[in-house]
Amino acid sequence: MRIRTRLTIVLLLVALVPLAGVSITGYIIGRHIVTRQVLNQLESVASIQKSRVENMLRQNDERLSLLESRTTLTSVLDTYNSHPGTDVQTLLYPNLIGARSAVQSFQSIFILNPGGTVIASTDPSIIGTSKAEEAYFKDGKGHNISDIFFTDSHGKLMRYLAGPITYDGKLLGVIVVVGDADNMLELSRDYSGLGETGETVIAQKTQGGDIQYITPNRFGKGTPLGTVLPGNTENLPMEEALAGREILLQNETDYRGVPVLAATKYIAGPGWGLVTKMDKSEAFAPVNNLGIALIVVTLGVTLIAIAFALLMARSITQPVTELTGAALEISKGDLNRRARVSSRDEVGQLGLAFNMMTDELLEARAGLEKQVEERTAKLTATNRELEGYAHTVSHDLKGPLAAAAIATSLVIEYADQPVSSEETKKLMVELQASIDKCFTLIDDLLAFAEAGQKPRNISVVDVGSIVSRVLSERAAKIQAKYIKIEVSYDLGTVTANETHVYQLFSNVIGNAIKHNTSPAPVVRVSSLGLDGDGRHRYMVSDNGPGIPPEDLENVFMPFFKGKTGETGVGLATAEKIVKIYGGEIRAYNDNGACLEFSIGDFDEKLGVVP
């Protein structure tokens, strides 16, 4: 074989084998990383969606229990069952109308006697009709149900809520609520974190064993209860979910027959299956683009190698041997190996090109690893905030709403009964307190969500005026706790969004006022001048017990409440605002709690100006 041919073959092996090996390995690793990232994201979304569905079911059960336990209902129905001639509709109609008005999703409410006949209803036209063969009556005699869906004449998804009304273990009747299922539709249309092809679907088993999708699908049939698939369909994630298996799937197809990545969840009460999924084509698009780029690079390197091989045919063997040895070392995994270049002719140029190619390969791999780490960190932070939002809304907001609902129900129930003004006032005070708590929680969540946005409407803000406004708004609490306020004579001005400056000082000063339990409390607001980068430095301190040492590292973590916190977003919001303006914030104890922070001036075109 001619030396030119042999040299061409050797150069091709040296150039392409390492590149192909690294490219294939990088593609496989990248595909594996993307698969885990997407599956973890789907698992997180599926867990949140399952929690939302379970909260809906619990809320419906609580509403039914409140209706079933009304003393007016049990008293009237007990009398009716003993004396069937009683005019139940007249006695219960105001009560049913009040209950329906209290919950926006309730469309109508009616009561069936133990035989299944309607004896009272918000819709008088159905009184006297028999519902004995309806599933909600048969199941509702034994326990509360909320898993019977249907569509009305306009194709809107509706549901039946039903449960027994009992007294001393005796069935007095069944109460049935017809309500919309807008919360289920809202859940299915929430595609947050699921890209262009992801979605969450919920399905149930029919009596015939088929799979019926309750909510509309993002693709395919867009109507509720409109998609029905035969039972035991192969490679269908919903089959796994309905079988009670909560797993991550990589090689399944959805109701369209499209390959997907999926996470399955099982909702035990009604026996529903929940699947959060994303098309593989979208999930692996970045990796596939990388594969195409690697193929193009490989083809380009191949052409370059052939050209250099033809030119190197006339060179002496030693430079070729040196270059071959370097390539073999790299093919064994030593990517730090470089070819020694001892000439400026074609052999030397080939050596330089080979070394540059290896450097670019190393840089490309390092860049890919960095991107993967950055995106993983962002995804982890996003999941943590989503879990925090979900926990806060599902737990903290549910408490005052439930208290408000109970207080409202009692006010309605006692409307026709003699009740003292003091009892009425007490109920209204509890209702107002619950509503105020809900507003406070919602305002804190909105402020936290908006705090990280780029500032708009920039102006020169007088910090002293902002602090005076904050102190004026909290004057009642300050006077009630006999707090002494000490403010620096001149707090200066900053170029920023006025709302951001207000939120920052309001959260920090409010924290100092709230947690200062000193017998002679003092709160100080001080200007510390400018730091070395020209940022404005401030400190808010108090003479209270300080921050518990175990909480110091977590006070700026979103939704961290400590032992006495409320929503857990006040200081997290302050940290977000400080970072927008290129500053830093830290908490420490020095004869009390100290919060020290800095913010830079902001220019709408240049950003933070040091």
CB 389 within 8 A of CB 193: no
Token readout for 449 is 């969500």
Cβ count near 128 (within 10 Å): 11
Q: Distance (Å, rounded) from C-alpha 219 to C-alpha 228?
A: 14
* Dist CA 157 CA 406 (whole Å): 27
Distance (Å, whole) CA 140 – CA 57: 15
CATH of domain 189-283: 3.30.450
* pLDDT of the residue at 311: 74
SS (H, E, C) 418-460: CCCHHHHHHHHHHHHHHHHHHHHHHHHHHHHHHHCCCCCCEEE
Burial of 353 (0-12, 13-18, 19+ CB in 10 A): middle
Q: What is the pLDDT of residue 435?
A: 63
Phi/psi for 133 (5° steps) reads -90, -5
CB 524, CB 509: distance < 8 Å: no
Burial 460-487 (b: 16+ CB within 10 A, else e): ebebbebbeebbeebeeebeeeebebeb
Q: Kindly give, in sequence order, each residue whose CB lies less than 8 Å from that of residue 70, ignoring residues fewer than 6 positions away.
A: 95, 409, 413
Q: Which residues pair with 160 in a beta bridge?
A: 148, 178
In order of 302, 308, 339, 345, 431, the CA distances from 305 in angstroms are 5, 5, 15, 16, 80
List beta partners, residue 538: 527, 597
Q: Which candidate, 213, 548, 567, 578, places its Cα nearest to that of 399?
A: 567
Q: Tell me, which fold does domain 455-609 have in CATH?
A: Heat Shock Protein 90 (3.30.565)
SS3 348: helix
Whether 69-184 and 189-283 share one fold: the answer is: yes
Q: Is 486 helix (H, G, I), strand (E, B) or coil?
A: strand
Residue-wise DSSP of 149-201: EEE-TT--EEEEEEEEEEETTEEEEEEEEEEE-HHHHHHHT--TTSTTT-EEE
3-state secondary structure 2-64: CHHHHHHHHHHHHHHHHHHHHHHHHHHHHHHHHHHHHHHHHHHHHHHHHHHHHHHHHHHHHHH
- Residue at 324: amino acid letter: T
Helix axes 421-451, 498-515, angle to 10 degrees: 130
Domain 69-184 has CATH 3.20.20.370: no
Return d(Cα 308, Cα 311) in angstroms, integer: 5
Give the length of the chain. 610
pLDDT of residue 394: 44
Please say whether the dihedral angle defined by the alpha carbons of residues 11, 12, 15 and 18, taken in this order, is positive or negative: negative
Structural domain spans, the chain: 3-34+301-379, 69-184, 189-283, 406-451, 455-609
Q: What pLDDT sits at residue 395?
A: 43
Using DSSP's 3-state secondary structure scheme, residue 412 falls into: helix
What distance, in Å, lies between the first and last C-alpha atoms of the chain? 69
Question: What's the pLDDT tens digit per position in 203-212?
Answer: 999 888 899 9
Q: Name the stretches of the chain with pLDDT < 70.
A: 1-4, 7-8, 11-12, 15, 221, 309-310, 312-323, 326, 333-335, 339, 342-348, 351, 354, 361-362, 364-366, 368-369, 372, 374, 376-454, 559-569, 604-610
Are 216 and 181 spatial neighbours (Cβ–Cβ below 8 Å)? Answer: no
- Give the global pTM: 0.48
The confidence score (pLDDT) of residue 397 equals: 47
* Predicted local distance difference test score (pLDDT) of residue 574: 84
Angle at 14 between CA 13 and CA 20, to 5 degrees: 75
Whether residue 249 contacts residue 275, with contact meaning beta carbons closer than 8 Å, is answered with: no
Spatial strand order of the sheet with 272-279 comes to: 228-229, 211-213, 199-205, 272-279, 259-267, 248-253
Asked if 53 contacts 268 with a C-beta cutoff of 8 angstroms, the reply is no
User: Residue 493: its pLDDT value, please?
Assistant: 92
Are β-strands 522-530 and 484-487 bridged in parallel, bridged antiparallel, or unpaired? Answer: parallel
